[in-house]
Amino acid sequence: MMVVSLSHAFAGLFSSSWVAPSLNLRNPKTRKREKQLSHADPRSARRSPSVSPKIGRPREWLHDPETKFLTNSPDFTKEQQLEWFLSLPVQKEYLIWGIETDTIPIGACGLKNISETDCEYWGYIGDKKYWGRGLGKEIVLLLETKARDMGKLSLWLRVIKENPRAISLYRKQGFIVESETYNLYVMRKQL
């Protein structure tokens, strides 16, 4: 059982004391599950995954060879990451959230390349202990809702061809391959 909520984050990468307001974007299925969890055992909700302002250790995660490969991440220094991260508050085309479970940061997700009609989804679970637990589906559903609430007509993403778990997830969620390069698929879902 999972409870997923979003808190906008941009300073959380370097300061664990920064707290942002919750957007409380929950799909009806998640809301029902949250209610069931809170009535059954209040402690179980704290163990459920959520999206929060605590982004965690993205530099560490994205320097892991497997995660770096699967997310198609370029090399970057701590200084480059800090400069990029500090530019986020003025960027209108980029939204980012941290993903945590039981108050432990485990990944990041967001919407970028935001235009009038669509935006690009991105996300990853950096802490490998949480891979294969169904978190990706919840995150995709939540960010679809966010894009829909923003009035977007479609959501698209890029995924490396050698990431069959992610491709399977996206296909199950209704994304179709729109184009491809030598190593990437561009997939889109009409909202």
Domain boundaries, the chain: 28-152
pLDDT at 119 over 60: yes
- pTM value surpassing 0.75: no
CATH for 28-152?
A: 3.40.630.30
- At 164 the pLDDT is 95
Residue range 153-191, pLDDT digits in tens: 999 999 999 999 999 999 999 999 999 999 999 999 999
pLDDT at 144 over 90: yes
Distance CA 165, CA 151 (A): 29
Distance CA 188, CA 191 (A): 9
Name the pLDDT band for 97 (thresholds 50, 70, 90).
Answer: confident
Residue range 27-47, pLDDT digits in tens: 334 333 333 322 223 222 223
- At 68 the pLDDT is 85
pLDDT at 1 over 80: no
Per-residue pLDDT, averaged over 75-82, amounts to: 82
